[in-house]
Amino acid sequence: MTKENAKILIVDDNEMIRDVLEEILSMEGYDVQCCSNATEGLECGHSDPPDLFILDITMPDIDGLELCRRLKSDPATMDIPVIFISGLIGMEEKIAGFKAGGVDYITKPFQNLDVLIRVKTHVELRKKTQILESMNEWLEEKVEKRTRELRLAKESAEKANNAKSEFLANINHEIRTPLNGVLGMLKLMGNCEMNDDLEMYHNLADFSARHLSAVFSDILDYTQLDSDSMRFNYESLDIHKLVENVCLLQREHAQNKGLELKWELTGDRTEFVCDEIRLVQILNNLLGNAVKYSNKGEITLRCHLSDDLNIEVEDQGVGIPSERTEEIFTPFLQLESPYTKEHSGTGLGLAISRNLCQAMNGALSVNSKPGKGSCFTLKLPEQKARFPKPPVEHNKGGAENLRILVVEDNTINLYLLENILEAAGCRVFQALNGEEAMEELEASDPDIVLLDMGLPRKSGLEVIREIRAREKYRNLPVIAVTAYSHKDDLDRFEDAGINAVITKPVSEDVLIDTIMLHSARD
């Protein structure tokens, strides 16, 4: 809007005033229209809204103040600035003009320059206001469009994430199930008499299968941590006993490389609430790396338990340049070249360990110097036990004569579980699918049910819901033995009434311990 196209509507009953104002404003390039009364001014203002009103206050039919109020009450004209021009020079009249909605007040007789300056000021303000309003509308459209795009992107990402979760759950099941069979059969084979060659082949196959299981577990753990879908099981632990057991396990690997592994346990208590499986995983990663990257000297673990758990793992190995210490926590990144590296691994161990610490509101850091070794520091706050477990004192003989119903569609895994349970003295009953499970449940009246969750015809979830729906089986211990370990899966199992979950590959000790924990029936 410029002077040449800015429209000004003058409403004044004095013809001479109208003519003077029209002349001086027209000479400046404004498009000027005049009305002699308020009624005419209202009609003109509605039919062809101007960019500025100039209103006389004293008029015969409707005065300028009332005209201004009506203009300000109409959405079509409410934003158009109004300048009053009047011979009333009292303060009360001026205040009344501003209260009615005017933006300025010119007293008669007026100076031409005064009129021009005030008109120019409010026309330019009007122009800038319209520009801002136009920009706001443009921005609102942009924001609305971007919001729609983001909403669609979010929905697409959620679909992709759900698809990824379903894929991971499925691939987890499809890999862990046969892997459980391989490891289980190798364990059973280890109990048989073999010549030296067969024993060597067995040991190599067992080592390779366990290495494959560890690699797959690392990848799955990282994807669960990355998608914030890992579930933690917090319970009270004897930290000193746990740390000592991990160190005893790792000491053999250290001694095989000529290294000495020492540990120091201090603090004013030993009980601490944490996730046992994840803490052991972190410690094994730290100690395993210390052994892997050390060729001489000693490895020391220092554990101090007070309000928090503080653990240091120090070695005298190759060390890490200070500028690269953070890189070792980057997933899939290894400091060695993949073509010349001397140490195996996925490059996920430390990334998983740090992410596990952070997921438990803790921290994992490192201080290292090339050629002088590294010191990893782990700090974890105490958690709140979600499902406190009572201590269990038993041995494998305590499982004798327990009646166990195993529901498993994979015949190899079924055979493996049957062998482990019968060796522990249990009586085993079998079902290959969900429908057989309900029939066998009635026929065998078991003490415990071991239930695979991925079953043909009727899923494990349907089976557990059907079991819990029957009054006589409300308190029957049902333990899921499954390859599904995603947080959402575990939550669904728990909601359905599962008492515990054992993930494949199955550990014999974990299986028997879990059975003994839940073997007492109400």
Which of these three, 226, 242, 272, is where a domain ends? 226
pLDDT of residue 520 exceeding 60, the answer is no
Residue 30 lies in a domain: yes
Same domain as 315, residue 189: no
Query: How many angstroms separate the CA atoms of 461 and 468, rounded?
Result: 11
Domain enclosing residue 371, as ranges = 234-381
Where does the pLDDT of residue 293 fall: very low under 50, low under 70, confident under 90, or very high at 90 and above? Answer: confident
Indicate whether 355 and 274 sit together in one domain.
Answer: yes
277: its two tokens? 């499986």
How many CA atoms lie within 13 Å of 309's alpha carbon, on the beta-carbon side?
A: 29
**88: CATH:** 3.40.50.2300
Kindly report the average pLDDT of the chain as a whole number. 85
In this structure, the answer to whether residues 243 and 359 fall within a common structural domain is: yes
Contact status, residue 312 vs residue 363, Cβ threshold 8 Å: no
Instruction: Out of 70, 93, 110, pick the residue that ends a domain.
Output: 110
Q: Where residue 333 falls among pLDDT bands split at 50, 70, 90? A: low
Is position 22 within any domain? yes
pLDDT in tens, 186-214: 888 888 888 888 888 888 787 777 767 76
Torsions phi, psi for 111 (to 5 deg): -95, 135
Flag whether 155 is in a domain. Answer: no
Residues 195 and 297 in one domain: no
Is residue 145 in a domain? no
Q: Are residues 11 and 103 in the same domain?
A: yes
pTM of the model: 0.50
Q: Are 475 and 521 in contact (CB under 8 A)?
A: yes
> Same structural domain for residues 475 and 365?
no
328 and 448 fall within a common domain: no
Which of the pair, 401 or 264, is modelled with greater confidence? 264
Residues 328 and 376 in one domain: yes
Q: Establish if 406 belongs to a structural domain.
A: yes
**Which of the four pLDDT bands, split at 50, 70 and 90, describes residue 228?**
low
**Domain match, 362 and 415 both:** no
Predicted pLDDT at 398: 63
Average pLDDT over residues 309-332: 85
CA distances from 275 to 329, 376, 508 (A): 21, 20, 20
Q: What is the pLDDT of residue 78?
A: 92
Cα→Cα distances 444→140, 207, 417, 450, 453, Å: 69, 39, 17, 13, 20
In a domain, residue 132? The reply is no
Tell me: do 243 and 368 sit in the same domain: yes
- Are residues 406 and 309 both part of a single domain? no
Residue 132 in this model has a pLDDT that exceeds 70: yes
